[in-house]
Structure 1
Amino acid sequence: MDKVAEEAEAKDRGWRGSAALWLEGAHALLIEGGVEAVKIGPLAARLGLSRTSFYWHFADREALLAALVARWRETNTAALVARIDRPAATVTEAVLALFDAWVDAQVFDSAAEFAMRTWALTDPAVEAALAQEDAARIAALTGLFLRHGYPAEEADTRARTVYLTQVGYIALRSEEDFAARMARIPSYALVFTGVAPSAAEVAAFRARHSL
């Protein structure tokens, strides 16, 4: 492709945006107003792009919504499982590494999680996707406890306790003071594992989050 053609193609892409740009805008609308807010017209206006340019990237609104579900799966679940699967010398070190994901919105997007769970209340397909991801996350957490020597039934119960506690925080949109919640981290680790984290593990966690 010669330089003139390359410049023309780049200009063309500019006024059409990109699939990633449209998806990012849709993600913001989903969080702000729920799935009913994710519509092509308002999205185009938000991005300053023409409505017709949307169709260069997505067949229709349903394709965009499917991409939003895929994005959530590939970010929140993947981030969570990656933290769970990290090698750790102790179960408390492993659980504190998991807490990293829930503390850092850049790793685990709680606002998106809430939006997905709200969407699932009115869309059976999203409800099914949510149930599938919940099961995968709980299975990964159960594996964490199994790796650290817990019996199978206890591992499953502890995994559910950890996971459902965090889902509760998200579902209730808890306004708990961040500092207060962070102060409870060692106690949460103790409750979830039955073992108190060491001072060094707590210090490392706090240092990771500049506490």
Structure 2
Amino acid sequence: MTAPYPRLRGSKDLWLNAAYELLISQGINAVKVMPLAKKLNLTRTGFYWYFEDISELHSAMVQRWESKNTGNLVDQCNTDAANICEALFNLMDCWLDPELFDARLDLAIRNWARVDPDLKLRLNEADARRIKAVANMFTCHAFSKEQADVRSLTVIYTQIGYISMQVEETREERLARVQHYVELFAGVRPTSEDVDRFLNRHPHH
């Protein structure tokens, strides 16, 4: 017969996932041990099996956000592309695939950073990394440094605007607009092949 302890403890990911859900729905002040234990129907002591204290959980949350959202965005910028439009479509995958980039989590982190100076620094570093990755993408496709810098800011600030304003649009609306955003950011119209390739990997439903 297996011991009941695992059920009482859960797993590290289980606690982290629950913490994310609370962060996204109610903000960082809601992320406390008792509400988490209650949400998971686990014992409070189970939490301390995986985390020394709540601040260690906070660190794990921030680390996971950095590797998921910023890490995936940088990877998408570094994906091989034949032209700038294809490169931008690779980046736009982030805005349509929550597995690549979790916009709700990004908003929750931005809200949390307003009351946490250390996190604000981490957020500024993450935004700088994202902007640099997008700028490098433009530079690789023969844009001048000045153009690459301004275009990367436009791409990232547009997306932060989407996140911060919690813009609501259907998947169909967003898919229909993407090629026009790409044209705007790139300064050239994407080929129908590039558009089709992008749309084919993002079914409407």
> Shorter-normalised TM-score: what interval?
over 0.9
Does 2:171 align with 1:178? yes
Listed as ranges, the matches of 1:1-211 within 5 Å are 7-8=2-3, 11-211=4-204
Between structure 1 and structure 2, the one with the greater Rg is: 1
1:203 Cα shift? 0.6
Question: Deviation per CA, 1:33-80, whole angstroms, max 9, x where unpaired?
Answer: 010110100000001111111111101111111111111001111111
Give the aligned residue type for 1:64.
Answer: L
TM-score (norm 2): 0.96
DSSP 3-state at the match of 1:78: helix
- Alignment coverage as a number of residue pairs: 204
| TM-score in terms of structure 1 length | 0.93
- What amino acid does structure 1 have at the position aligned with 2:171? F
Q: Partners in 2 of 1:177 and 1:21 — Cα distance?
A: 30
How far did 1:195 drift? Answer: 1.1
Shift, 1:20, TM fit: 1.2
Structure 2 contact 12–50 (Cα < 8 Å) conserved = yes
Aligned partner letter, 2:83: T
1: CA distance, partners of 2:163 / 2:97: 14
CA distance in 2, matches of 1:161, 1:132: 18
Identity %: 42
- The letter of the residue matching 1:204 is R
Matching residue's letter, 2:85:
T
Displacement after TM superposition at 1:186 (Å): 1.4
For the residue of structure 2 that corresponds to 1:210, the secondary structure is: coil
CA contact (8 A) 2:135 2:152 kept: yes
Which sections of structure 1, spanning at least 5 residues, go unmatched?
Answer: none
CA distance in structure 2 between the partners assigned to 1:22 and 1:187 by the alignment = 41
Output the CA distance in 2 between the equivalents of 1:16 and 1:186.
47
Cα RMSD between the aligned structures? 1.2
Letter in 1 for 2:123: L
Q: Contact 2:7/2:42 (CA < 8 Å) preserved in 1?
A: no
Unpaired segments ≥5 residues, structure 2: none
